[in-house]
């Protein structure tokens, strides 16, 4: 039994979905969406705010500010509310409408950057707005998830050890690549403590995280429009890139079995399944993938027929992942 007194107290749900019946490969999915923020980002949010308080960067009159496509913004809203702090999230039109409403419901201020920068990059435009806010008020504190070591330490100290404990014979871990916090923390932990475990990064086609060309992306959570400082490509065993159409297809396939999961989970599961079919035909490997969130926030996008048809047409029903 877990008893908490504040909404930001992390407890591990210890829920894994056995995907062997659904995919025909040996894969267990660690579900990180069972907390008050609804995603794995609560770990990073708690870690970064705690580190800022400990270092004296955050005081009771501080206003936290961060750039986020959705989940981290919700997580920081939970942490800010639990600590009686103000929080301003700078996001863009690709943020899920539900995430926007959740942040506001939790008492946060949301600033939506409507115009990308000259290269069409919303991330750069969001960061520019964060800098403007911090320059205008000395009480604003930018947590900077993109470079903050407390981001990856949350997963080095918690997420990865919990997986290692539950799966002592783990062979392969699949982790989505967004800002790189979860990926970097897990890679570092297993490199230092269980070097035989292979960590495979799953990224979206159109992301530049691993040196590929930028392309159009519509589903927040994974991928990046500029290189993420926390990601060290040579530390991962392999890279699988997944088309967003395949993300949609996998999300809907899992939903048909009652598992309503988030967009990034569809990407990770699609990529992991493809990797295992190619590299473990005998189904002898023990593999785990990390699911960042549940699917309610994607009802108006990934699970909406009109939205899906507008962005992907018939491509959502054809497969096509690629290895890096």
321 falls in which pLDDT band (50, 70, 90)?
Answer: low
The pLDDT score that the predictor gives to residue 116 is: 82
Task: Point out the domain boundary residue: 142, 160, 179.
Answer: 142
2 falls in which pLDDT band (50, 70, 90)?
Answer: confident
Averaged confidence pLDDT in the chain: 93
Identify whether the C-beta of residue 266 lies closer than 8 Å to the C-beta of residue 230: no
From CA 4, how far away is CA 133, in angstroms rounded? Answer: 34
Strand partners, 30: 16, 290
Model pLDDT for residues 211-238, shown as the tens digit of each residue? 888 888 888 888 888 889 999 888 899 9
Model pLDDT for residues 34-51, shown as the tens digit of each residue? 999 999 999 999 999 999
Rounded to a whole number of angstroms, the distance between the first and last alpha carbons of the chain is 43
Assign residue 21 a region: left if phi > 0, alpha if psi is -120 to 50, beta otherwise? Answer: alpha
Total structural domains in the chain?
Answer: 2
Query: Residue 319 pLDDT > 60, yes or no?
Result: no
Q: Is residue 322 part of a domain?
A: no
Q: Please indicate, yes or no, whether residues 164 and 298 belong to a single structural domain of this protein.
A: yes
318 falls in which pLDDT band (50, 70, 90)?
Answer: low
The pLDDT score that the predictor gives to residue 317 is: 63
Model pLDDT for residues 227-269, shown as the tens digit of each residue? 899 998 888 999 999 999 999 999 999 999 999 999 999 999 9
- Supply the range of the domain harboring residue 177: 16-35+149-308
Identify whether the C-beta of residue 201 lies closer than 8 Å to the C-beta of residue 192: no
Q: Please indicate, yes or no, whether residues 196 and 275 belong to a single structural domain of this protein.
A: yes
Strands 16-18 and 28-31: antiparallel
Q: Please indicate, yes or no, whether residues 54 and 76 belong to a single structural domain of this protein.
A: yes
Q: Please indicate, yes or no, whether residues 185 and 280 belong to a single structural domain of this protein.
A: yes
158-to-76, 124, 174, 195 alpha-carbon distances in Å: 18, 30, 16, 18
Task: Point out the domain boundary residue: 84, 119, 142.
Answer: 142
The pLDDT score that the predictor gives to residue 323 is: 63
Q: Is residue 53 part of a domain?
A: yes
The pLDDT score that the predictor gives to residue 322 is: 63
Q: Residues 6 or more apart from 195 whose CB is under 8 A from it?
A: none
Cα dihedral 139, 141, 126, 230, rounded to 10, equals 170
Q: Residues 6 or more apart from 107 whose CB is under 8 A from it?
A: 77, 80, 81, 87
3-state SS, residue 87: strand
Q: Please indicate, yes or no, whether residues 62 and 162 belong to a single structural domain of this protein.
A: no
Q: Is residue 317 part of a domain?
A: no
Q: Please indicate, yes or no, whether residues 21 and 91 belong to a single structural domain of this protein.
A: no
From CA 211, how far away is CA 205, in angstroms rounded? Answer: 11
Task: Point out the domain boundary residue: 142, 177, 206.
Answer: 142
Q: Is residue 7 part of a domain?
A: no
Q: Please indicate, yes or no, whether residues 90 and 207 belong to a single structural domain of this protein.
A: no
From CA 63, how far away is CA 14, in angstroms rounded? Answer: 33
Q: Please indicate, yes or no, whether residues 108 and 60 belong to a single structural domain of this protein.
A: yes
CATH of the domain at 129: 3.40.50.1100
Q: Is residue 10 part of a domain?
A: no
Model pLDDT for residues 108-167, shown as the tens digit of each residue? 999 999 988 777 778 889 999 999 999 999 999 999 999 999 999 999 999 999 999 999
125-160 b/e (C-beta count within 10 Å ≥ 16 → b): bbbebbeeeeeeeeebbbbbbbebebbbbbbbebbb
Other CB atoms within a 10 A radius of the CB of residue 290 amount to 25
Residue of 99, 92, 96 lying closest to 128 (CA atoms): 92
Strands 287-291 and 172-176: parallel
Q: Is residue 8 part of a domain?
A: no
Q: Is residue 324 part of a domain?
A: no
Q: Please indicate, yes or no, whether residues 300 and 160 belong to a single structural domain of this protein.
A: yes
Q: Is residue 132 part of a domain?
A: yes
From CA 145, how far away is CA 78, in angstroms rounded? Answer: 16
When pLDDT is averaged across residues 23-41 and rounded to a whole number, the result is 96
Q: Look at the block and give the residue holding tokens 């007194």.
A: 5
Residue of 237, 319, 223 lying closest to 285 (CA atoms): 237
From CA 210, how far away is CA 215, in angstroms rounded? Answer: 13
**φ, ψ dihedrals at 89, nearest 5°:** -100, 130
Q: Please indicate, yes or no, whether residues 24 and 136 belong to a single structural domain of this protein.
A: no
Q: Please indicate, yes or no, whether residues 31 and 112 belong to a single structural domain of this protein.
A: no
Q: Please indicate, yes or no, whether residues 115 and 238 belong to a single structural domain of this protein.
A: no
The pLDDT score that the predictor gives to residue 100 is: 94
**What is the DSSP-derived secondary structure letter of residue 39?**
B
% of residues, the chain, pLDDT over 90? 82
């Amino acid at each position: 039994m877990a008893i908490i007194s504040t909404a930001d107290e992390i407890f591990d749900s210890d829920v894994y979905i056995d995907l062997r019946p659904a995919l025909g490969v040996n894969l267990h999915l660690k579900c990180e969406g069972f907390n008050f923020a609804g995603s794995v980002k609560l770990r990073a949010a708690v870690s970064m705010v705690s580190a800022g308080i400990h270092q004296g960067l955050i005081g009771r009159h501080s206003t936290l500010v961060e750039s986020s496509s959705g989940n981290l913004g919700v997580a920081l809203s939970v942490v800010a509310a639990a600590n009686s702090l103000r929080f301003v999230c700078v996001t863009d039109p690709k943020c899920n409408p539900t995430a926007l409403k959740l942040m506001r419901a939790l008492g946060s201020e949301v600033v939506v950057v409507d115009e990308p920068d000259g290269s069409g990059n919303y991330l750069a435009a969001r960061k520019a707005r964060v800098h403007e806010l911090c320059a205008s008020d000395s009480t604003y504190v930018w947590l900077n998830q993109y470079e903050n070591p407390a981001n990856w330490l949350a997963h080095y100290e918690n997420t990865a050890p919990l997986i290692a404990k539950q799966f002592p014979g783990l062979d392969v871990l699949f982790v989505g690549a967004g800002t790189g916090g979860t990926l970097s923390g897990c890679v570092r932990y297993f490199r230092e403590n269980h070097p035989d475990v292979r960590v495979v990064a799953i990224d979206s086609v159109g992301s530049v995280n691993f040196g590929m060309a930028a392309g159009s992306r519509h589903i927040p959570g994974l991928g990046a429009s500029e290189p993420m400082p926390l990601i060290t490509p040579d530390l991962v065993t392999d890279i699988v890139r997944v088309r967003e159409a395949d993300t949609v297809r996998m999300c809907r396939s899992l939903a048909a079995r009652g598992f309503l999961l988030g967009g990034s989970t569809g990407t990770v599961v699609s990529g992991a399944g493809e990797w295992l079919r190619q590299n473990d035909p005998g189904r002898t490997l023990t593999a785990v993938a990390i699911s960042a969130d549940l699917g309610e926030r994607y009802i108006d996008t990934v699970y909406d027929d009109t939205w899906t048809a507008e962005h992907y047409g018939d491509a959502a029903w054809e497969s096509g992942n690629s290895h890096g």
